[in-house]
Structure 1
Amino acid sequence: MGASEVLTDPSSLYDVGNGEYSDTYTMLTVRNALASVQNGESDRYEELVQSMQIIKGADHAVWADLVTILNALSGSVACIDIIHHRKLLSSVFGMSLWDLKPHVMEALVGLLISLAATSGKYLDSCLNMLIGHFIPPRWVIDRLSQRRVIDQKTDVLSQVHGAILKITLLVPLAPSRLLPMLAQQMPKINKKDNVVVIYVENLFKLESSPIGQVGSSMIFMMVMERLRDLDLEIDWDDILQDDSSRGMFDMELEDAMNEGEENTSGGNVVFESLDKLMVISFDHLESCNLDGRLDQVFEKLFGAFENFILNTYKSKVSQFLMFYACSLDPENCGVKFASKLMDIFLSSNKPRPTRQMSAVAYLASYLARGKFLPVSYVATMLKRLVDECADYCRTCNDDIRPEAHQIFYSGCQAIMYVLCFRMRSILNVPLFRSQLRPLESILMHRLNPLMVCLPSVVAEFLKQAKAGGMFVVSDAFIFDDLLESELSRAFGGPERLDTFFPFDSCLLKSSNSYISPNFIYWSMVRPTYEEDDDDEEDAEIIVNGDEESDEEEEEGDLDYSMNKMSITPKHSFKNKMERDRLLKMPSMIRPSISPQSF
């Protein structure tokens, strides 16, 4: 039906000068139709509701009539009653911007803004309808490779965000109503599509708007939670096919990637969604940095990390949001992250041990892998860990069961792990070297961390300590096996937190292109036992942020800088003879009497 058909007396509303019905007369007629239903006369009201229905293939005149009616309704919202006009409201809220012409979209959006601003009764319905457009219909998702559909997506979502922003400016209550709705409509993991990616794009657009001033924390919580869920959906053990005969410092990245490709059948959408979500998140953090608000956003990001990632057992990708944020602003965010992790580890409130163990595992992996971290800062954090472990040794009781000292052992392992990556740089500075002296007494203590901590870490640490002249280490004490003792298993606990190194290499290709320029791979480390050789192609290896690499890494080239990596090992308990030999390792190392050189 045309707009004129709603009229009680169409001829009385005809503008002879313009040859058409005026907007004012149309508005009066629509109001009459709204009023008539309350008087028991429903014919004109039913015709009005019917005129809201979209007919596929409708001509230009039908669209023009619809725009006229929507505009008239926008000027008549005070006449709309939530009880008597339920059918009309249902038609309005049932419309989809994805099905409308641009000028009709504008008219509908104008009506929604008027409804939301006029009465609190319609606020939730308007916001819910707008948020619902964050998830496009199936036909849009299937055609997103087409330029026309991409442009339509841009137009629709621009209208949606514009409407939400106007509503929040007109209705102060709107943001507090909006945020729970965003969480409720957040898509779940769907292995058939990746609509969650489009939804998160819209969340970040809201975070960048004035709405982010009140909703930033909750938006990061929502994103981090979904990243974690996707992370956990992927069975990394099946992908990596870890071989216990290989050392954690030996695994080739190409092996891991090739094995991963062979084991991702049926899970490609999850991989793709996780990778895309990480890239979108990285881009948003970079945008925040360019806008000068990364430091502010970082606090909220860390809150989300602390709630959803820190205590998640062996997440492999989602934590790299923190790493990337730190790489964008090492002096502020980079320092804050390490300090916050250290504070959790040293907390006097005595949180559950797994939380402290996880925090120091993150700290160790971060200090080892962050190319942007100056060696001076790494040395400062190591000193805090060494001092804490030394104090613990002085006050510990007679109970030497590993499970009674999990936090202590996690601290010792963190120190050794960082030194596996940074020892040459640390020992090359006399001040930093002197700060590690208490480590000797820690390793000589009857709690015997060298026997309890992860053998692969201990072996690499001792090998470098001997070569660097850090201590005089008995040859019998250097071992290359990846044997794990019963004591080590007891320290790690049922979740084996002793084998968790959170910032092992990122195995998602697109995501890794953001991480690799600021990431230290094991192949880049020059251990103390390697002789200087200017003729070798990779002799110049930088392991701290105080120097610039002589070779620029090519962004996006995964194989260029990632030729080796450390990956959380998956060990096997070997035969009794080997186990007994491991448990009989010397428990003491002698003080150094050799020159302090390497």
Structure 2
Amino acid sequence: MENELSDSQLVQLVKNSLAAAISGDRDDYEELVGYLHPKKNPRADEIAMLVTTLKALSGAVSDIDWVHHEALLFAVSRMSMWNYGTDVMDAMVELIISLAASNGKYVDWCLEMLVKHFVPPFYLVELVKKEKGIDRKNNVLSRVHAALQEITDLVPLAPLRLSPIVVQRMPSVFSQQPLEIVMYVENMLMLESGAIGETVGSTMLPALVDRMIEMDVDIGWDGNLEEDAKGIFEMELEEDAEFADEAVPPSELLKRKSLQGNLVVEKLDSLMVLTFLHLESCQNSGRLTEVFDVLLASFERTVLNAYKSKFTQFVMFYACALDPEGCGVKFATVLTDLFGCDANPPITRMSAVAYLASYLSRSKFLSAALVSSIIQRLVDWCYAYCKLHNFDMNPRLHQVFYSGCQAIMYIMCFRMRSLMDIPRLRLQLLNMPMEAIWKHKLSPLKVCLPTVVEEFLRQAKAAQLFMTAESFVFNDLLESDLSRAFGGMDRLDMFFPFDPCLLKKSESYIRPHFVRWSNVRTTYDNDDNDEVSDSDSEASDDDFVDRNARGMTDDEMAVSVDDVGLDFDPNLNKMSITPKNTPLKSRYETQLEQCTRMPARIRPSTSPESL
């Protein structure tokens, strides 16, 4: 190819070469294709010739034929902007855009070329982690997204073609390069928040959630289902000296350690942090409500019915924490509606109320008034169910009912003290027909998880929630036959989806908004200088300390229990409960009457076994 030719002459020369190839004369055409083949350590003149060739092809795109010029298109498809400087990058982008605009049949090919650049070739992955690699990353990706936007402007239907391409090219969860899928998701989120996000946004986030669930279910740890069920509320164990500074339950530490070095865990943790940051960006730009609706639809379709998801659901939790009065309330309302809808399958209703119970219990950002209103709805549903089903207990037949009852008790274990301390909410609780539900022939106290029932009854007695709370007698030996039947094969009776998050990086985002059992004041706690909250004060609805800064020390965050009703320490996970395997009535007589508090813990659910 002559170096002294003008731009128009070069374009004409390329057109002639393309036309000759169709006629059978392929010498000039093959020379043209040769300029496009990648060379190791190319010289400056070879780079200049490559740029010239790409620009000339951009002016001759209307003469490129899909069948006769397959070798040329293949050579272009093998090129990567990651391997070149900005001059070649710009020439490649110009060719791709021109080709997409010239003929509709090239649009998918051009979009795939650009999406391919979301991640570098495998041999450059390590380079991207370094400072020089970050500059190259910015140079490549800024051009890729600008090109996608320009193609969209020229071809309005391009975004509809782009979405399936992006989803199909997502790296596998089993990729040996964690950075690969992280970078790819970064680009997906850039598309979602970019100018073409209105078209592709509804696809990007659900695809991301689907991939995270795929990773989530691939993660497992050892555990015994029945033993973990009995240990939800277990006696406090002595801290190992090795972990004394962390002050978290040994069971949780063991599970954290079991996840260390797991490549899938590391990738999922990084993706969740990316998603959290994206949600923060959406909140700052006023888009969170819109994005939350997309996430909520994806949650209902994928996460809700996934077999005991362990971590992915915290994306919903964090979105709600960013907007408690909007997203936070909406999530609780939707879960309540899903449970109460008779048209939904039983497993969906049981999962929904399990999510609801765990969400209301663990969310520091939800008001006591909202929690009370949800409890009222659950109690009303269960009470109406009792009036329609005046039969003896049948765990398998009435699974949805028992899941509702257990949700009420679980929420009350965490929230009873804060609700009873507010006069108007205390009155609301006292007027609820709970006692009629617990004494019904369906016998929910004999079917629901023994540890949840025990803690609920203990707090109910201390709070004088029922006139005859001490008359409820419970024997946890019934668990093997009744509670197991209620949970069924999937053991949804043990599913508490928002138990403490075990992903290291993600947990630091969740922590300021999350309630551990050790932070909860129970009704049988003896707190000096307790004051009853003013029923007309909005501040009285706040149950927990709100920590807004991650990484602060416990001393910096110490807050008076008199002011907020909770001394929050994110690293503790203790629970006060009566000893196991002792008749409840005698425990009240020998210990509760003496106002003695015995320290114990709530163990994180060990999904998939005990979630």
For the criterion TM > 0.5, the same-fold answer is: yes
Quote the Cα distance in structure 2 between the aligned partners of 1:357 and 1:124. Answer: 43
- The match for 1:361 among 324, 332, 354 is 354
Is 1:27 paired with 2:11?
yes
- The match for 1:99 among 43, 68, 83 is 83
Is 1:209 paired with 2:194?
yes
Structure 2 counterpart of 1:423: 416
Alignment of 1:515-526 (within 5 A): 515-526=510-521
- How far is 1:210 from its partner? 2.6
- The match for 1:528 among 523, 528, 531 is 523
Quote the Cα distance in structure 1 between the aligned partners of 2:546 and 2:495. Answer: 31
The more displaced of 230-239 and 30-39 is 230-239
- How far is 1:551 from its partner? 8.0
Is 1:58 paired with 2:29?
no
Fraction of identical pairs, as percent = 48
Alignment of 1:509-588 (within 5 A): 509-533=504-528, 546-547=541-542, 552=547, 555-556=550-551, 561-565=569-573
Change (3 A) 1:511 1:451: same
Contact 2:362–2:515 (8 Å) recurs in 1 = yes
Structure 1 counterpart of 2:154: 170
Quote the Cα distance in structure 1 between the aligned partners of 2:225 and 2:254. Answer: 6
Contact 2:232–2:451 (8 Å) recurs in 1 = yes
Alignment of 1:82-161 (within 5 A): 82-161=66-145
- The match for 1:458 among 453, 466, 473 is 453
Alignment of 1:459-498 (within 5 A): 459-473=454-468, 477=472, 484-498=479-493
Quote the Cα distance in structure 2 between the aligned partners of 1:241 and 1:94. Answer: 55
Query: What do residues 260-310 of structure 1 show as CA deviations (whole Å, max 9, x unaligned)?
Result: 354236x52111101101000000111111110111111110111111110
Quote the Cα distance in structure 2 between the aligned partners of 1:491 and 1:243. Answer: 16
- How far is 1:241 from its partner? 12
Higher RCO (CA-CA < 8 Å; seq separation 6+): 2
Change (3 A) 1:144 1:478: farther
Contact 2:332–2:356 (8 Å) recurs in 1 = yes
Structure 2 residue matching 1:315: 3-state secondary structure: coil
Quote the Cα distance in structure 2 between the aligned partners of 1:256 and 1:193. Answer: 30
- How far is 1:380 from its partner? 0.8
Alignment coverage as a number of residue pairs: 549
Contact 1:463–1:478 (8 Å) recurs in 2 = no
> How much is the aligned-residue C-alpha RMSD, in angstroms?
2.8
- The match for 2:396 among 403, 411, 418 is 403
Quote the Cα distance in structure 1 between the aligned partners of 2:235 and 2:585. Answer: 23
Contact 2:448–2:483 (8 Å) recurs in 1 = yes
Alignment of 1:175-214 (within 5 A): 175-190=159-174, 192-194=176-178, 195-214=180-199
Change (3 A) 1:515 1:132: same
Change (3 A) 1:67 1:421: same
- How far is 1:534 from its partner? 5.8
- How far is 1:485 from its partner? 3.5
Alignment of 1:312-351 (within 5 A): 312-349=306-343, 351=344
Quote the Cα distance in structure 2 between the aligned partners of 1:478 and 1:512. Answer: 39
Structure 2 residue matching 1:435: 3-state secondary structure: helix
Is 1:229 paired with 2:214?
yes
Contact 1:516–1:561 (8 Å) recurs in 2 = no
- The match for 2:31 among 47, 72, 91 is 47
Structure 2 counterpart of 1:307: 301
Quote the Cα distance in structure 2 between the aligned partners of 1:274 and 1:240. Answer: 24
Contact 1:371–1:544 (8 Å) recurs in 2 = no
Quote the Cα distance in structure 2 between the aligned partners of 1:548 and 1:431. Answer: 15
Query: What do residues 531-576 of structure 1 show as CA deviations (whole Å, max 9, x unaligned)?
Result: 11369xxxxxxx9983486684751369883333489xxxxxx9xx
| TM-score using structure 1 length | 0.86
Query: What do residues 414-463 of structure 1 show as CA deviations (whole Å, max 9, x unaligned)?
Result: 11111111101211233323333311111111111111111111111111
- How far is 1:484 from its partner? 2.4
Alignment of 1:66-77 (within 5 A): 66-77=50-61
Quote the Cα distance in structure 1 between the aligned partners of 2:338 and 2:306. Answer: 15
Contact 1:504–1:565 (8 Å) recurs in 2 = no
Quote the Cα distance in structure 1 between the aligned partners of 2:361 and 2:541. Answer: 14
Change (3 A) 1:27 1:392: same
Quote the Cα distance in structure 1 between the aligned partners of 2:546 and 2:298. Answer: 36
One-letter amino acid matched to 2:37? Q
Structure 1 counterpart of 2:438: 443
Structure 2 counterpart of 1:9: none
Query: What do residues 136-167 of structure 1 show as CA deviations (whole Å, max 9, x unaligned)?
Result: 21122223331111211221122111111111
Quote the Cα distance in structure 2 between the aligned partners of 1:59 and 1:478. Answer: 87
Quote the Cα distance in structure 2 between the aligned partners of 1:503 and 1:239. Answer: 20
Quote the Cα distance in structure 1 between the aligned partners of 2:66 and 2:90. Answer: 23
One-letter amino acid matched to 2:73? L
Structure 1 counterpart of 2:598: none
| TM-score using structure 2 length | 0.84
Structure 1 unaligned blocks of 5 or more = 6-19, 536-542, 568-573, 587-598
Structure 1 residue matching 2:259: 3-state secondary structure: coil
Contact 1:425–1:544 (8 Å) recurs in 2 = no
Structure 1 residue matching 2:128: 3-state secondary structure: coil
- How far is 1:383 from its partner? 0.6
Quote the Cα distance in structure 1 between the aligned partners of 2:104 and 2:574. Answer: 56
Structure 2 unaligned blocks of 5 or more = 237-246, 531-537, 555-567, 587-611
Quote the Cα distance in structure 2 between the aligned partners of 1:435 and 1:548. Answer: 17
Contact 2:318–2:510 (8 Å) recurs in 1 = yes
Quote the Cα distance in structure 1 between the aligned partners of 2:477 and 2:323. Answer: 37
One-letter amino acid matched to 1:379? S
- How far is 1:191 from its partner? 5.7
The more displaced of 456-465 and 168-177 is 168-177
- How far is 1:248 from its partner? 2.8
- How far is 1:498 from its partner? 0.6
The more displaced of 188-197 and 148-157 is 188-197
The more displaced of 476-485 and 138-147 is 476-485
Change (3 A) 1:215 1:21: same
Quote the Cα distance in structure 2 between the aligned partners of 1:246 and 1:153. Answer: 49
The more displaced of 134-143 and 522-531 is 134-143
One-letter amino acid matched to 1:488? S
Structure 1 counterpart of 2:376: 383
Quote the Cα distance in structure 1 between the aligned partners of 2:545 and 2:298. Answer: 37
- How far is 1:187 from its partner? 1.5
Query: What do residues 197-249 of structure 1 show as CA deviations (whole Å, max 9, x unaligned)?
Result: 11111111110113221222221111111111111111144599975664436
Structure 2 counterpart of 1:260: 255
Contact 1:357–1:410 (8 Å) recurs in 2 = yes
One-letter amino acid matched to 2:114? L
